[in-house]
């Protein structure tokens, strides 16, 4: 269950790359607030506080801005090119009784029987899209895969979800599969056969022609 948290934000009139860098140098993260047919608002949140909540998979935040506290859903988080530092966040206004569609991380639990038989586990989906009340967004979906044998898979429709939470993603989409090693080798051979040949011989021939 997602907790309602309150972070203090400060409004900002200036936008642009230079202003964003200035905010980040002060330990702030530029954010855009929108939704419920209201004009978008530019603001900034404390980097440490926001990063801590995102680290704990909190998707619903209470944000105090200009003395008013509203509930927001974290819609988009942008990171730097290394994928480590938060550089921008989009927040959408929500009511606590409305249902929303969100992407939630899938965590595999246990070692499949098929792995002990010599198979190889592959996770094909790391997230699934769910629909639920904004106050009931699960932090993660944990999937027990101990029962999977070699050649068997777990689909999105087989995931155990909390009450009042429904699946939006394709129920037939495979989340995890235990492949036998012969299949792995066959797939690698196909990939190598389909890989484009290097263009180096063509380049050498063209250079000789030009000479």
Please give the chain's pLDDT, 211 residues, in tens.
444 568 998 888 777 788 888 888 889 999 999 988 888 899 999 999 999 988 888 888 989 988 888 889 999 999 988 888 899 999 999 888 889 999 999 999 999 999 998 999 999 999 999 999 998 899 899 999 999 999 999 999 999 999 999 999 999 999 999 998 765 554 554 555 555 554 444 444 444 444 4
Number of folded domains in the chain? 2
| Same domain membership, residue 107 and residue 80 | no
Give strand pairing partners of 60. Answer: 73
Q: Are 38 and 120 part of one and the same domain?
A: no
Render the burial of 178-209: b for 16+ CB within 10 Å, e for the rest: bbeeeeeeeeeeeeeeeeeeeeeeeeeeeeee
Question: Which DSSP helix (H) or strand (E) runs through 167?
Answer: strand 166-167
Distance CA 208, CA 211 (A): 5
CATH number where 110 lies: 2.170.120.20
Claim to verify: residue 115 and residue 90 sit in the same structural domain? no
Partners of 36 in the β-ladder: none
**CA-to-CA distance for 108 and 166, rounded, in angstroms?**
19
- The token duo for 133 is 């009340």
Clarify whether residues 80 and 160 are in a common domain. Answer: no
Q: What is the pTM (predicted TM-score) of this model?
A: 0.70
Specify whether the CB–CB gap between 151 and 174 falls below 8 A: no
Indicate whether 33 belongs to any domain.
Answer: yes
DSSP classification of residue 149: P
Query: Are 90 and 14 in the same domain?
Result: yes
Domain boundary among the residues 59, 94, 129 is at 94
Bridge partner residues of 197 (DSSP):
none
109-155 pLDDT, tens digit per residue, is 999 999 998 999 999 999 999 999 998 899 899 999 999 999 999 99
Cα separation, 91 vs 72, whole angstroms: 6
The enclosing domain of 61 has a CATH number of 2.40.240.10
Domain region containing 11: 5-94
């Amino acid at each position: 269950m997602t907790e309602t948290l309150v972070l203090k934000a400060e409004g900002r009139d200036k936008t642009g790359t230079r202003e964003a860098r200035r905010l980040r140098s002060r330990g702030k993260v530029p954010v855009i607030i929108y939704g419920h047919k209201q004009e978008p608002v530019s603001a900034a949140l404390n980097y440490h506080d926001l990063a801590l909540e995102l680290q704990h998979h909190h998707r619903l935040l209470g944000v105090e801005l200009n003395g008013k506290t509203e509930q927001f859903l974290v819609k988009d988080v942008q990171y730097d090119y290394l994928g480590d530092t938060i550089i921008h966040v989009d927040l959408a206004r929500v009511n606590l009784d409305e249902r929303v569609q969100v992407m939630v991380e899938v965590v595999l639990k246990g070692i499949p029987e098929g792995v002990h038989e010599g198979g190889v586990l592959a996770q094909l989906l790391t997230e699934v899209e769910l629909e639920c009340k904004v106050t009931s967004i699960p932090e993660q979906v944990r999937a027990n895969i101990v029962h999977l044998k070699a050649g068997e898979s777990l689909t999105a429709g087989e995931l155990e979800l909390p009450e009042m939470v429904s699946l939006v993603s394709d129920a037939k989409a495979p989340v995890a599969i235990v492949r036998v090693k012969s299949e792995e080798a066959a797939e690698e051979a196909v990939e190598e056969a389909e890989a484009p040949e290097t263009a180096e011989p063509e380049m050498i021939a063209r250079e000789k022609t030009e000479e």
